Structure 1
Amino acid sequence: MEIRLSGITNDSIVDGMGIRLTVFTQGCTHHCKNCHNPQTHDPNGGYLKDTDTIVEMLAENPLLDGVTLSGGEPFLQVDACTELAKQAHGLGLNVWAYTGFVWEDLLGTEKETLLKEVDVLVDGLFVESLKSLDLLFCGSSNQRLIDVKESFAKSTVVLWK
């Protein structure tokens, strides 16, 4: 399956807990002011890559703890990102995802398919006036780090610790 990407970073330590392969999807409709990755906004930009090639990269790196789906907006490429997440879990890796959407708006939509394959979700738009360099794994204080499995189990948002 093909996915449109802006890029891939191997051995990242800033996009979630542990050592990660970060997949930067291409295309975003949020256009947050002073976005960290504005080059990812154009849905026709970037390049196409087969998800199997990314899975091979995951399998070949024994140091990885997981994969992070970032962007752009990974929830605009639900099918390809869901496939990557499932394959990563099959390799014993965890899955983090960054989204400008909020948890509540993903529930009950086609995007929930991907959400159910994520372990930790960083949700919410980047808001420049709430920016803080002191935050763990997010850029602005409105964003939440959500334990997805616990949140589904308890039918309420449970923050990741």
Structure 2
Amino acid sequence: MDIHISRMHYPVTTLGPGKRIGIWLQGCSIHCEGCISMDTWQFNINKVSINDLKQVLKTWLPQCDGITISGGEPFDQENALIELLEFLNSYNKNILVYSGYSFDGLKDKKLVQSGLIDVLISEPYDHTKSQTKRLLGSDNQQVHFLTSLGKSEFATYLEQPLEKELDIHITPETVWMAGIPINGMKEIAQASKENNVTLSHSQAVTKNK
């Protein structure tokens, strides 16, 4: 089976407790206004074999503290996500998955009922809402502890105050960040402009197309 991947990275320290594997899936049908990851919306690109993906992950899994899966929209690749999660669960690491779908629409799915996901963050990002809670882009989003492992690993972490934390990764052509920036990219873009650096970023486009 194939899966569409935007990017992966280890370690990620801003999307859950400890040093985590970050997996961003490619393709999203929700298109939240003000999304900071519009580059992950397009479908049918960046296809890889799940078997090849597993080989890469095997080098990181023994040393990581957990896995965070985002996107894109993970539930738009439901069958591939099930196969990936079944593999990841064999390593007994806590797994956090983000989805922009409502929990009412997800709660009866096999992925949610099976125990393959320890913590699920649901609901679409809403740029009109406040942002006061850790790991959430907007306060309308909901955290669901789906297993006892998820609750034990995340309950105390989520009670900590919201902080300005981002993992920064620089390549010759791009700068990309892992984490949930407070107020999205607005403050970052403004600070860059004040230092004579112009950033082109996906959140600058705020209208759905």
**TM-score bucket (shorter structure):** 0.7 to 0.9
Q: Which residue of 2 aligns with 1:42?
A: 42
Q: Deviating runs (4+, > 3 A) in structure 1?
A: none
Match of 1:130, SS state, is: coil
Give the Cα separation in 2 of the matches to 1:87 and 1:93.
Answer: 11
Q: Which residue of 1 aligns with 2:80?
A: 80
Give the Cα separation in 2 of the matches to 1:138 and 1:55.
Answer: 28
Q: Shift of residue 131 of structure 1?
A: 4.1
Q: Shift of residue 84 of structure 1?
A: 1.3
Give 1:113's match in structure 2, choosing from 101, 110, 113.
110
Q: Which residue of 2 aligns with 1:54?
A: 53
Give the Cα separation in 2 of the matches to 1:90 and 1:119.
Answer: 13
Give the Cα separation in 1 of the matches to 2:52 and 2:78.
Answer: 18
Which structure is larger by alpha-carbon Rg, 1 or 2? 2
Give the Cα separation in 2 of the matches to 1:114 and 1:9.
Answer: 23
Q: Which residue of 1 aligns with 2:164?
A: none
Give the Cα separation in 2 of the matches to 1:18 and 1:131.
Answer: 26
Match of 2:83, SS state, is: helix
Counterpart contact for 1:75–1:99, Cα < 8 Å: yes
Give 2:137's match in structure 1, choosing from 136, 139, 144.
139
Q: What do you get for the CA RMSD once the two structures are aligned?
A: 1.6
Give the Cα separation in 1 of the matches to 2:52 and 2:139.
Answer: 35
1:5 aligns with 2:5: yes
Q: Shift of residue 145 of structure 1?
A: 1.5
Gaps of 5+ in 1: 151-159
Counting aligned pairs with the same residue, the percent is 28
TM-score by length of 2: 0.65
Q: Which residue of 2 aligns with 1:148?
A: 146
Q: Which residue of 1 aligns with 2:197?
A: none
